[in-house]
Amino acid sequence: MSEDQFPGWHGTTIIGVKKGGEVVIAGDGQVSLGQTVIKGTARKVRRLSPGGHEIVAGFAGSTADAFTLLERLEAKLEATPGQLARASVELAKDWRTDKYLQKLEAMLIVSDGVDIFVITGAGDVLEPEHNVTAIGSGGNFALAAGRALMDTDLSAEEVARKAMAIAGDICVYTNGNLTLETIKK
């Protein structure tokens, strides 16, 4: 849907940080409709356990669309146990070619504790070069802050928390109510 048809939901910043043998995915809790904060405590980071393999995922965009994608990702992971990269590529291929999925407006950051990927509706499965990635309305702010903090002695969780705080100070669609999940391998 275009902005003309629907005023647009805004209000997500998700960051993924891989450092020191762990991956942290953190997301804020704000959902806004236009200039109004609709909810400040949304949970946009989730743990998945398809086939007994632990995965952490964060999403930006439409919640219903993101849940559809998470369900599809779980199905791909059950078909290819322990192969996050393959499942992610299969999801991205379906997302790009399926007429129903093409209309979904969301992005995902996913990790199994070893790899971290951004999955987009353009068919992309991106692995960050500098072990930090971010999506959503405040994603560029969180990414810049996270990259600057990666060369410090801070842990992955500390980098994620500080980067999210910086993004929240800059982006009006991002608040400080964090959901944070850590996965180690």
Tell me the catalytic residues.
12
Q: Do 173 and 27 form a contact (C-beta atoms < 8 A)?
A: no
Q: Do 92 and 124 form a contact (C-beta atoms < 8 A)?
A: yes
Q: Do 41 and 177 form a contact (C-beta atoms < 8 A)?
A: yes
Q: Where are the alpha helices (DSSP H) in the chain?
A: 63-79, 84-97, 139-149, 156-170
Q: Do 90 and 80 form a contact (C-beta atoms < 8 A)?
A: yes
